[in-house]
Amino acid sequence: MSRSAFSTSGRRPRPEAVEDISAGVEGWFGPEEGRLLYRLAAEADPAGCIVEIGSWHGRSTIWLGAGAKAGREARVVAIDPHTGTYLREHGETTEAALRANLARAGVLDQVEIVVARSEEAATGWSRPISLLWIDGDHAYESVRRDLLLWGRHLLPAAVVALHDTFVWPGPERVVQELLIGPGRYTSFLHAETTTAARRCGQLAPRAALVRRAGLVRRALYGMRLRAYDANTHGFATIRDALARG
Ligand SMILES: C[S@@+](CC[C@H](N)C(=O)[O-])C[C@H]1O[C@@H](n2cnc3c(N)ncnc32)[C@H](O)[C@@H]1O
């Protein structure tokens, strides 16, 4: 199978090929949430850009770049200091791997790589944002800071998506407190551990009802996911203990 994300007839990356390439990239980001990001990136308003906080080796960046190329061609800005704690000890960086993976996927020209921490890159930032993807430092304070810092630049109908919600306390608390609580986000979507929602103003009664139904669906999905996670984790703990004798 070709390693290019592009069909031979044109420059539109196909999700099947993107999945194939992304599977060969180190990371913790799954194919279902990849397809969700691809769709959101394809729909993203090119009057704003797509901002990614946390790229690592580029799994999610590839999905964003491919979706943008297949759709309305919003620019992708991928922000990461590329100095994970254990990497620093070895004097290594993930930037080279990111560049190579984006080039192999054929999306490097769609992506601007910014080697900086989110909070540094936000200083002096002035471009509007149509899609904000948060997958950086997962501590509650950091996720909250990322959303507040970058949220200032969101277009009125921009989409915010966060990774590792439902099962990680930091990202999930931010979803509850900043996306669900104040009622300024609607059209909630989820895939694997990713949650996405669209900015909105005051909703009419019918739209508010649809929003509430969406939140009930999300809550039920979260319960299932956490139960599965607990079972799997519990099973693995018992299996490992038995294996140790
Ligand atoms: C879970 S990984 C990202 C995975 C990536 N999205 C993928 O699909 O494989 C988290 C990344 O966040 C980065 N990071 C940590 N703190 C950050 C910060 N303050 N600003 C931007 N990125 C940060 C780390 O360097 C790391 O590469």
The answer on 244 and 138 residing in a single domain is: no
**Cα of 209 to ligand 1 centre, how many Å?**
36
135 lines ligand 1 (CB under 6 A): yes
Q: Per residue in 60-90, pLDDT tens? A: 999 999 999 999 999 999 999 998 766 656 6
Q: What is the CATH number of the domain that holds 143?
A: 3.40.50.150
Residue 41 sits at φ, ψ, to 5 deg, of -70, -40
158 lines ligand 1 (CB under 6 A): no
34 lines ligand 1 (CB under 6 A): no
Average pLDDT of every residue of the chain: 91
CA end-to-end distance (rounded Å), the chain = 44
Taking only Cα atoms into account, the Rg of the chain, rounded to an integer number of angstroms, comes to: 18
The answer on 154 and 79 residing in a single domain is: yes
What is each CA distance from 144 to 129, 150, 177, 203, in whole angstroms? 17, 10, 9, 24
198 lines ligand 1 (CB under 6 A): no
19 lines ligand 1 (CB under 6 A): no
What is each CA distance from 111 to 51, 75, 76, 159, 241, in whole angstroms? 10, 6, 5, 18, 45
53 lines ligand 1 (CB under 6 A): yes
pTM of the complete model beyond 0.85? yes
**Cα of 164 to ligand 1 centre, how many Å?**
12
Instruction: Tell me, yes or no, whether 9 lies in a domain.
Output: no
- Ligand 1: which residue has its CA nearest to atom 23? 136
151 lines ligand 1 (CB under 6 A): no
Instruction: Tell me, yes or no, whether 183 lies in a domain.
Output: yes
Domain that holds residue 93: 15-201
Q: Per residue in 169-217, pLDDT tens? A: 999 999 999 999 999 999 999 999 999 999 999 999 999 999 999 999 9
Instruction: Tell me, yes or no, whether 87 lies in a domain.
Output: yes
Distance, CA of 162 to CA of 7 (rounded, Å): 29
Instruction: Tell me, yes or no, whether 5 lies in a domain.
Output: no
The answer on 178 and 60 residing in a single domain is: yes
